Amino acid sequence: GAVVSQHPSWVICKSGTSVKIECRSLDFQATTMFWYRQFPKQSLMLMATSNEGSKATYEQGVEKDKFLINHASLTLSTLTVTSAHPEDSSFYICSYGQGNQPQHFGDGTRLSIL
Amino acid sequence: GEDVEQSLFLSVREGDSSVINCTYTDSSSTYLYWYKQEPGAGLQLLTYIFSNMDMKQDQRLTVLLNKKDKHLSLRIADTQTGDSAIYFCAESNGSGYSTLTFGKGTMLLVSP
C-alpha cells in the first residue's frame, strides 16, 4: 500500500528557530500533498495544500510567510516553520491521496518550541 | 461549511463490541473515512466507504452509512486492548486529491 515518510518525528528547539519538516511519498509520485496541524486533544485542521511545481494554497488564518511550503518534486514536500514561537508547538502531519484512493498520512512531527 | 460531529469518549470491556458514531452535514460528501490515531502517532486509515454504499465489512470492522440521516458508524467486534486509541471520522466530497474534514475524534478505552 501507499507509504508516506515524514521526518523528523520530534523536534525540540528554542524560540526563534526555523524548523523544516519533510514529507515523502515512497511509492508513487504525488502532485498534491496536504499539511495538517493538530493541537493537543483536538482534531486535525488543514493548513495548506501543496502542489508540485506551483505555489501552495493556504487555509484562512494560516500565515504563508510563517509556514513556508515547498513541493519541488513529485515525491517531496517540505513545511518550514519560520522563527518558531511556543504557540507554534503542535503536531504537524502530512498526507497525500491519489485518484480515487483515500488519503494516507505520515506519522507526524511533534514540534516543541521552548 | 462542512461539519463532522463525534462523541468524545467510549469505554468498553475487552471482548465486547464497540460502536463509534459520527454525523456530518455536507450532503455532497462522497467519501467517508475512519482513521485511528494511537498516542503520539500519525493517522492510520482503517476503512472508508463511498456514499453510494450502505455497509462495508472488513474483518472485525463494520461501517454503516445512513445517507438520509448523514450518519456513519464504526463497529469493532471483539474489541481488544490494542484497539484503545482515538478514532477520527472524516469526509470529503471528492477523490484522493480532495481535502478532508475531520471530526474531533472519539477516544476508545478498552479495559481488560
- DSSP of A87-102: GG-EEEEEEE--TTSP
**Contacts of residue B42 in chain A, CB cutoff 8 Å?**
6, 93, 105-108
> Which candidate in B37, B43, B101, B104 is best for mutational testing of the A interface (most A CBs within 10 A)?
B43
Please tell me if residue A89 touches chain B, with a CB cutoff of 8 Å. no
* A62 touching B (Cβ < 8 Å): no
Contact B89, B72 (CB under 8 A): yes
Residue A98 reports pLDDT greater than 80: no
B39 touches chain A (CB under 8 A): no
Most confident range (mean pLDDT) of B35-39, B94-98, B107-111 is B107-111
Residues of A in contact with B51 (CB under 8 A): none
- The alpha carbon dihedral of A38, A39, A40, A44 has a sign of negative
What does the pLDDT read at residue A88? 95
In angstroms, rounded to a whole number, what is the distance separating the alpha carbons of residues B76 and B107? Answer: 14
Q: Which residue of A has its CA nearest to B5?
A: A43
Alpha carbon distance B35, B89 (integer Å): 7
The most confident of the ranges A78-87, B47-56, B91-100 is: A78-87
B39 three-state secondary structure:
coil
**Which pLDDT belongs to residue A51?**
84
The answer to whether residue A104 scores a pLDDT higher than 80 is yes
Chain A residue at shortest CA distance from B96: A97
Taking residues B3-20, report their average pLDDT: 95
The rounded distance, in Å, linking the Cα atoms of A85 and A77 is 22
**Average pLDDT over every residue of A23-45:** 86
Cell readout for A94 is: 502530512
Mutation target among B32, B100, B104 for the A interface, most CBs of A within 10 A: B100
What are the φ and ψ backbone dihedral angles of B22, each rounded to 5 degrees?
-150, 140
Question: Which pLDDT value is given to residue A12?
Answer: 94
A69 SS3 class = strand
Residues 6 or more apart whose Cβ sits within 8 Å of residue B59 = none
Q: Kindly report, residue by residue over A3-30, the tens digit of the pLDDT.
A: 789 999 999 999 999 999 999 988 778 7
Rounded percentage of chain A residues whose pLDDT exceeds 70: 95
| Residue pair A82/A13 in contact by the 8 Å Cβ criterion | no
CB atoms B88 and A108 under 8 Å: no
Is the pLDDT reported for residue B1 higher than 80? no
Specify the higher pLDDT residue, B95 or B81. Answer: B81
pLDDT score recorded for residue A1: 52
User: Using CB atoms, which residue from A95, A97, A104 is nearest to B95?
Assistant: A97
Report the mean per-residue pLDDT for chain B.
90
Lowest mean pLDDT: which of A50-54, B1-5, B44-48? B1-5
The amino acid present at B73, given as its one-letter code, is S
Cα–Cα distance, B36 to B79 (Å, whole number): 14
* CA distance, residue A96 to nearest chain B CA (Å): 7
- Residue A52, pLDDT score: 84
pLDDT over threshold 70, residue A35 = yes
Give the pLDDT confidence of B90-102 residue by residue, as tens digits.
998 765 567 788 9
Asked if A14 and A114 touch (Cβ cutoff 8 Å), the reply is yes
pLDDT of A2? 52
